[in-house]
Amino acid sequence: MIKVYSYRWVPPIVRGVVRDVRVRWALEEIGLPYENVLIGPAEQKSDEYRAIQPFGQVPALVEDDLTLSESGAIVHYVAQKSEKLMPKEPAAQARVTSWMFAALNSVEPFVQQWQLDVFFAKEDAKAAPKTRLLELVGSRLDALVPKLEGREYLEDRFTAADILMGSVMRMLFGTEFITSRPVLLEYRKRCEARPAFKKALADHMASFDDSLGSKEMPKSS
């Protein structure tokens, strides 16, 4: 059986957006069972886990002799198991893969930097998001809007690309970035309404052990 590694504790502010949700979501979409393996700082530093995930982060996936890290690579691997997430027609498959890369390379880095700046600004006003970063996030979202106007998903149906892009949209929560762009807001809502997502999120949230408190300092990939 597939094993998916995730954290046994994270701060409440990041619950629901840790990247193991993406992997769980993909597996739920195609109905593939998996075992969830919870780790903490001790496991992250261990040679055993570093052999699975070189940077000690989550998520990681193990299936038989295969070990995979990086959420995008794992979602892509899972998607190739079923036409539900990855079309078999070569051109369609190439487009889906391109959108997956776009989510991870053209949109998420700017959104994540904005998130980090907002987080650290709570302790240091000098760390508040810079105007240029806000403009970059906005410009990436503006470029995405026309691609989703008049359609439900990035392609003609839900694919693995929407797992990744939808996950990035969730990182914006209820901010003006997304509320001022109704096309993206409705897209995010459609993604979150999927039964597979709801199951993945519920299982993710149920895995945390709050008795550990802030002793756990996780990172995800």
Residues 105, 172 share a domain: yes
The amino acid present at 204, given as its one-letter code, is: H
Residues 61, 17 share a domain: yes
For 67, how many CA atoms within 13 A lie in the half-sphere containing its CB?
Answer: 10
112-160: pLDDT as tens digits = 998 887 766 665 556 566 788 899 999 999 999 999 999 999 999 999 9
Q: How far apart are CA 173 and CA 114, in angstroms?
A: 12
CA 53 to chain centre: 17
Residues 131, 179 share a domain: yes
> Are β-strands 34-39 and 2-7 bridged in parallel, bridged antiparallel, or unpaired?
parallel
- 114-136 in b/e form (b: 16+ CB < 10 A) is bbeeeeeeeeeeeeebeeebbeb
Q: Using an 8 Å Cβ cutoff, are 6 and 196 in contact? A: no
Instruction: Answer yes or no: is pLDDT of 215 > 60.
Output: no
* CATH value at residue 99: 1.20.1050.10
Q: How far is CA 40 from CA 12, 21, 135, 150, 175, in A?
A: 16, 17, 36, 44, 31
55-59, 72-76, 116-120: lowest mean pLDDT where? 116-120
Residues 132, 64 share a domain: no
Tell me 130's DSSP state. P
The answer to whether position 205 is within a domain reads yes
Residues 173, 95 share a domain: yes
Number of structural domains (the chain) is 2
**Segment of 101-105, 127-131, 216-220 carrying the highest mean pLDDT:** 101-105
What is the helix (H) or strand (E) element at residue 188, kind and residue range?
helix 182-193
Residues 159, 103 share a domain: yes
Name the residue range of residue 40's domain.
Answer: 2-83+198-209
Residues 61, 13 share a domain: yes
Residues 136, 100 share a domain: yes
| pTM, two decimal places | 0.92
